[in-house]
């Protein structure tokens, strides 16, 4: 049974016939963004809840924005510390629409499957726990007790603990995440895949190896006082809009911004601050003063070209290199033998571009490099990020004010979840501390990451799949294969706020366990509870929901995880699940003894604005085996295709948060009313004999065969020849499960080899 809308017979809402295209924008935000925020909020929630919600969003006594992980400015927050896309995320959470048991009675799985992702989200907030029993095609209400007992029975019936998989998406609070990993480990498995496996895993792997920490080394203050910012593989106008005001401050302070992106993204070009008079009138601050339209996956070559320039010019920081690094000789030998021609071919840039950028960095010294998915989702992602680190090491641009590495995280608490132990291979020291705190033996063999879990599920080696948030089916690569994998489980469980397609592709039995959103008041025994989150700059702070919950039947994520664990583990457990569920301070007390640098956790989060987690690399202490930061001398590479084919990247439109589709516009790229589009270089389209707006089929090529995504409209768009782009999740069917980044295992969602042909279904 298909649970996807037929792409060749689209629903009226996604009727691509009415697709509009216009000129891409030259700046982001401004008043249109504010109007768009309020339109989304008002149409989905009503005026009172809108104002209540906005006034508590990102305030020190309020709740953390459920959208991205960009930090809040300290000291000078405005009354509305939010952005257009934060408002959309909030509107989606505090919507007045409801998915109650009657909704499921009226809609079979097949009927829900015919709805688009946007319609599923717009259906509203889930109100009751529901179950899909074997052989039936409607979810029906179930009590919390019965749901916990049903799940417990499946977990207790597994041949081995490794027949369980626990997936986490990055919106879960620290408290829920800590309990989730504890449950998995008390059950006896490290099978803890998370969205990070598909996201910044490559950054963590590269940085841990090179500089000893897997997290960013800068703060907002550093951004403000930087001399130069390299913004690589990131579209902040859409995905981290609050970053634009930080960039504006940096530029006004004299920082030099260089954008590195195959597409000319509006948010990199200019920013009209909606809360400044000029911005409101449409005057924008120019952001990037240099724009390198690198070829997809050409970044490693670019960085190597910069490194070569620095070494040849002799503009490197010899004292730093001598005192703090290893591998310099080997690396410089490599640079010496590197010819410019190869660097130019692989990067798609000119030698002068690389030299100019390097010289600017050498002149300004205080370099910050920010990056996101444009660097992490390629086969050589880890080597590319290590090459970024190489440039920083040559300049000594790390561990000093105004300089450092800044992987810009996605989900609002994805970094915190990892800190709390959501990882299939936590270090031994974490296990030891966990064992000591809870007086048990946690399993030591590494567990499965996202791709390995899909493979194992597909092979029938997983009985119970339990997800703390997220939309596994739509976020994972190889949609059809992942669907089969989910269907091979006995039980699939989703702890979540909103309906999504993962709820329609299920194990023999399925549970949807609806939880409170971050904006909602969480009362346990009449006492309001706070949770905590960690942002992209390692600041841990409290978040307290203030709004009335969407339904009186909802439980918090923390209480649901505790309820499941208590039922599944029964007498065997050494964890006071019930007490934890009723008082999150007790969870934080345990965290303070298990997780490094969380001493006096409860005290410290009561300080408005929270606290900054210790980062050794920030102080030039290198937590690596050699005690030094390491140059990487990896073999230069870039993804290429056979002639006539294209490198496809899958990216986000302006109207989505990952798999949650808020609307059908991608305003800054000039797209209106449609998502099934593929952006292609105008000359390439001509050469293919394809007209603008002509329907095309995309076929991806991989060692195991081809995959087809039918009927996308071809949109001519400036970018390097041989590259193209389409939206995720529609294009995920094209991403082969086996195509992953070396070392980090991240699916290569930004380098997929495709051919573009006139559609068989025009």
Ligand X SMILES: Nc1nc2c(c(=O)[nH]1)N[C@H]1C(S)=C(S)[C@@H](COP(=O)(O)OP(=O)(O)OC[C@H]3O[C@@H](n4cnc5c(=O)[nH]c(N)nc54)[C@H](O)[C@@H]3O)O[C@H]1N2
List residues near Mo ion by CB under 5 A.
199, 410
| Tokens representing residue 464 in the block | 């119970």
Cα 577–chain centre separation: 30
Please say which residue, 255 or 660, places its beta carbon nearer to ligand X. 660
Q: Residue 239 binds which entry of Mo ion, ligand X, none, with Cβ cut-offs from 5 to 8 Å by kind?
A: ligand X
DSSP secondary structure letters along 632-672: --PPP------TT-EEEEEE--TTEETTEE--S-BGGGTEE
Instruction: For the CB of residue 235, give the shortest distance to ligand X in the complex, in Å.
Output: 3
Instruction: For the CB of residue 322, give the shortest distance to ligand X in the complex, in Å.
Output: 31
Instruction: For the CB of residue 537, give the shortest distance to Mo ion in the complex, in Å.
Output: 16
Q: Residue 580 binds which entry of Mo ion, ligand X, none, with Cβ cut-offs from 5 to 8 Å by kind?
A: none
Instruction: For the CB of residue 515, give the shortest distance to ligand X in the complex, in Å.
Output: 5
Please say which residue, 245 or 656, places its beta carbon nearer to ligand X. 656
Q: Residue 332 binds which entry of Mo ion, ligand X, none, with Cβ cut-offs from 5 to 8 Å by kind?
A: none
Query: Which alpha helices (DSSP H) does 234-339 contain, by range?
Result: 236-239, 241-252, 266-269, 277-280, 299-313, 318-324, 328-336
| Tokens representing residue 628 in the block | 């030094």
* 273-to-152, 221, 243 alpha-carbon distances in Å: 51, 19, 11
Beta bridge partners of 367: 228
Please say which residue, 267 or 410, places its beta carbon nearer to Mo ion. 410
* Beta-carbon contacts of residue 756 (< 8 Å; ≥ 6 apart): 646, 678, 680, 688, 690, 696, 697, 698, 714, 724
Q: How many CB atoms lie within 10 A of CB 190?
A: 23
* Beta-carbon contacts of residue 528 (< 8 Å; ≥ 6 apart): 521, 522, 544
Instruction: For the CB of residue 660, give the shortest distance to ligand X in the complex, in Å.
Output: 5
CA separation for the pair 98, 552 (Å, rounded) = 12
Please say which residue, 185 or 652, places its beta carbon nearer to Mo ion. 652
* 462-to-3, 22, 314 alpha-carbon distances in Å: 22, 48, 56
Instruction: For the CB of residue 648, give the shortest distance to ligand X in the complex, in Å.
Output: 10
Please say which residue, 202 or 509, places its beta carbon nearer to Mo ion. 202
Please say which residue, 54 or 199, places its beta carbon nearer to Mo ion. 199
Please say which residue, 54 or 198, places its beta carbon nearer to ligand X. 198
| Tokens representing residue 339 in the block | 């010819």
Please say which residue, 369 or 656, places its beta carbon nearer to ligand X. 656
Please say which residue, 321 or 370, places its beta carbon nearer to Mo ion. 370
Q: How many CB atoms lie within 10 A of CB 1?
A: 10
Instruction: For the CB of residue 294, give the shortest distance to Mo ion in the complex, in Å.
Output: 21
Instruction: For the CB of residue 561, give the shortest distance to Mo ion in the complex, in Å.
Output: 22
Q: Residue 245 binds which entry of Mo ion, ligand X, none, with Cβ cut-offs from 5 to 8 Å by kind?
A: none
| Tokens representing residue 42 in the block | 């008002």
For residue 339, the SS3 value is coil
Cα 501–chain centre separation: 18
Please say which residue, 320 or 679, places its beta carbon nearer to ligand X. 679
Which pairs with CB-CB distance under 8 Å and at least 24 residues apart come from 651-655?
651/235, 651/373, 651/725, 651/726, 651/727, 651/728, 651/750, 652/235, 652/238, 652/239, 652/727, 652/728, 653/238, 653/727, 654/85, 654/237, 654/238, 655/88
The owner of tokens 């339109």 is 39
Q: Residue 496 binds which entry of ligand X, Mo ion, none, with Cβ cut-offs from 5 to 8 Å by kind?
A: ligand X
Instruction: For the CB of residue 5, give the shortest distance to Mo ion in the complex, in Å.
Output: 25
State the greatest distance between any 2 C-alpha atoms of the chain, in Å, as a whole number.
72
Instruction: For the CB of residue 66, give the shortest distance to ligand X in the complex, in Å.
Output: 6
Please say which residue, 479 or 556, places its beta carbon nearer to Mo ion. 479
Instruction: For the CB of residue 734, give the shortest distance to Mo ion in the complex, in Å.
Output: 19
Q: Residue 294 binds which entry of Mo ion, ligand X, none, with Cβ cut-offs from 5 to 8 Å by kind?
A: ligand X
Please say which residue, 412 or 633, places its beta carbon nearer to ligand X. 412
Q: Residue 234 binds which entry of ligand X, Mo ion, none, with Cβ cut-offs from 5 to 8 Å by kind?
A: ligand X
Q: How many CB atoms lie within 10 A of CB 205?
A: 22
> For every residue of 496-557, which 3-state class applies, written as one string?
ECECCHHHCCCCCEEEEEEECCCCECCEECCEECCEEEECCCCEEEEECCCECCCCCCCECH
Contact call for residues 64 and 533 (beta carbons, < 8 A): yes
At residue 567, what are phi and psi to the nearest 5 degrees? Answer: -70, -40
Cα 298–chain centre separation: 22
> Applying CB under 6 A, which residues contact ligand X?
66-68, 85, 169-172, 195, 198-199, 232-235, 238-240, 260-263, 265, 294, 296-297, 299, 372-374, 377, 410-411, 468-472, 475, 495-498, 500, 515, 517-518, 557, 649-652, 656-660, 728, 731-732, 735, 749-750
Q: Residue 557 binds which entry of Mo ion, ligand X, none, with Cβ cut-offs from 5 to 8 Å by kind?
A: ligand X
At residue 514, what are phi and psi to the nearest 5 degrees? Answer: -80, 140
Instruction: For the CB of residue 273, give the shortest distance to ligand X in the complex, in Å.
Output: 18
* 279-to-24, 74, 85, 274, 666 alpha-carbon distances in Å: 19, 22, 18, 5, 21
Contact call for residues 57 and 82 (beta carbons, < 8 A): yes
* Nearest CA among 557, 687, 727, 552 for reference residue 172: 557
Please say which residue, 372 or 696, places its beta carbon nearer to ligand X. 372
Contact call for residues 193 and 450 (beta carbons, < 8 A): yes
Please say which residue, 411 or 494, places its beta carbon nearer to Mo ion. 411
Q: How many CB atoms lie within 10 A of CB 670?
A: 16
Instruction: For the CB of residue 474, give the shortest distance to Mo ion in the complex, in Å.
Output: 13
Q: Residue 518 binds which entry of Mo ion, ligand X, none, with Cβ cut-offs from 5 to 8 Å by kind?
A: ligand X
DSSP label at residue 61: T
Please say which residue, 107 or 411, places its beta carbon nearer to Mo ion. 411
Instruction: For the CB of residue 721, give the shortest distance to Mo ion in the complex, in Å.
Output: 29
Instruction: For the CB of residue 479, give the shortest distance to Mo ion in the complex, in Å.
Output: 17
Q: Residue 698 binds which entry of ligand X, Mo ion, none, with Cβ cut-offs from 5 to 8 Å by kind?
A: none
């Amino acid at each position: 049974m298909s649970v996807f809308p037929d792409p060749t017979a689209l629903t009226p809402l996604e009727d691509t016939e009415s697709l509009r295209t216009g000129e891409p924008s030259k700046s982001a935000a401004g008043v249109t963004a504010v109007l768009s925020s309020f339109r989304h909020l008002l149409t989905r929630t009503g005026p009172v809840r809108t104002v209540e919600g906005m006034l508590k969003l990102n305030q020190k006594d309020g709740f953390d924005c459920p959208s991205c992980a960009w930090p809040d400015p300290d000291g000078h927050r405005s009354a509305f510390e939010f952005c257009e896309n934060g408002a959309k995320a909030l509107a989606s959470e505090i919507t007045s629409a409801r998915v109650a048991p009657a909704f499921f009675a009226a809609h079979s799985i097949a009927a829900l499957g015919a709805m688009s992702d946007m319609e599923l989200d717009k259906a509203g907030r889930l109100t009751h726990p529901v179950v899909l029993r074997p052989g039936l095609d409607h979810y029906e209400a179930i009590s919390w007790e019965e749901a916990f007992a049903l799940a417990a029975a499946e977990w207790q019936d597994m041949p081995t603990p490794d027949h369980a998989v626990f997936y986490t998406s990055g919106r879960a609070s620290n408290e829920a995440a800590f309990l989730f990993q504890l449950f998995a480990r008390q059950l006896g498995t490290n099978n803890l895949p998370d969205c990070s496996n598909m996201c910044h895993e490559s950054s963590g792997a590269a940085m841990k190896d090179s500089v000893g920490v897997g997290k960013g080394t800068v703060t907002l203050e550093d951004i403000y006082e930087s001399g130069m910012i390299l913004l690589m593989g990131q579209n902040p106008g859409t995905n981290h809009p609050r970053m634009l005001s930080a960039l504006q401050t940096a530029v006004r302070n004299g920082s030099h911004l260089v954008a590195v992106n195959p597409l000319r993204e509006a948010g990199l070009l200019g920013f009209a601050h909606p809360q400044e008079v000029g911005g409101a009138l449409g005057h924008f601050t120019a952001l990037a003063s240099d724009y390198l339209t690198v070829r997809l996956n050409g970044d490693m070559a670019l960085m190597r070209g910069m490194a070569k320039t620095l070494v040849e010019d002799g503009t490197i920081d010899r004292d730093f290199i001598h005192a703090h690094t290893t591998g310099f000789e080997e690396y410089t030998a490599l640079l010496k033998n590197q010819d410019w021609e190869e660097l130019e071919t692989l990067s798609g840039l000119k030698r002068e571009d690389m030299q100019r950028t390097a010289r600017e960095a050498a002149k300004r010294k205080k370099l910050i490099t920010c990056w996101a998915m444009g660097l992490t989702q390629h086969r050589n992602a880890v080597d590319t990020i290590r090459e970024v680190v190489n440039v920083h090491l040559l300049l000594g641009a790390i561990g000093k004010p105004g300089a450092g590495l800044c992987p810009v995280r996605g989900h609002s608490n994805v970094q915190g979840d990892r800190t709390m132990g959501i990882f299939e291979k936590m270090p031994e020291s974490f296990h030891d501390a966990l064992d000591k705190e809870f007086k048990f033996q946690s399993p030591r063999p590494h567990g499965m990451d996202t791709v390995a879990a899909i493979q194992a599920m597909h092979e029938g080696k997983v009985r119970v799949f339990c997800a703390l948030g997220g939309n596994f089916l739509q976020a994972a690569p190889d949609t059809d294969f992942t669907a089969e994998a989910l269907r091979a489980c006995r039980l699939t469980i989703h702890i979540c706020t909103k309906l999504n397609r993962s709820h329609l592709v299920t194990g023999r039995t399925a549970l949807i366990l609806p939880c409170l959103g971050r904006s909602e008041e969480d009362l346990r025994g009449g006492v309001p509870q706070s949770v905590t989150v960690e942002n992209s700059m390692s600041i841990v702070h409290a978040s307290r929901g203030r709004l009335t919950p969407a339904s009186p039947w909802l439980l918090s994520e923390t209480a649901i995880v505790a309820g499941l664990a208590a039922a599944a583990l029964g007498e065997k457990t050494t964890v006071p699940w019930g007490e934890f569920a009723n008082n999150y301070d007790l969870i934080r007390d345990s965290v303070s003894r298990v997780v490094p640098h969380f001493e006096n956790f409860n005290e410290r989060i009561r300080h408005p604005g929270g606290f900054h987690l210790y980062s050794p690399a920030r102080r030039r202490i290198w937590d690596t085996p050699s005690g030094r930061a390491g140059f990487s001398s990896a073999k230069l590479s870039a993804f290429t295709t056979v002639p006539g084919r294209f490198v496809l990247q899958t990216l986000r439109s302006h109207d989505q948060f990952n798999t949650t589709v808020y609307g059908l516009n991608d305003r800054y790229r000039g797209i209106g009313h449609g998502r099934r589009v593929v952006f292609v270089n105008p000359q390439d389209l001509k050469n293919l004999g394809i007209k603008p707006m002509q329907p095309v089929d995309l076929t991806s090529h991989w060692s195991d065969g081809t995959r087809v995504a039918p009927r996308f409209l071809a949109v001519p768009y400036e970018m390097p020849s041989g590259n193209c782009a389409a939206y995720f999740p529609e294009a995920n069917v094209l991403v082969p499960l086996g195509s992953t980044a070396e070392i980090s295992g991240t699916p290569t969602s930004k380098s997929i080899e495709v051919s573009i042909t006139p559609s068989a279904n025009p």
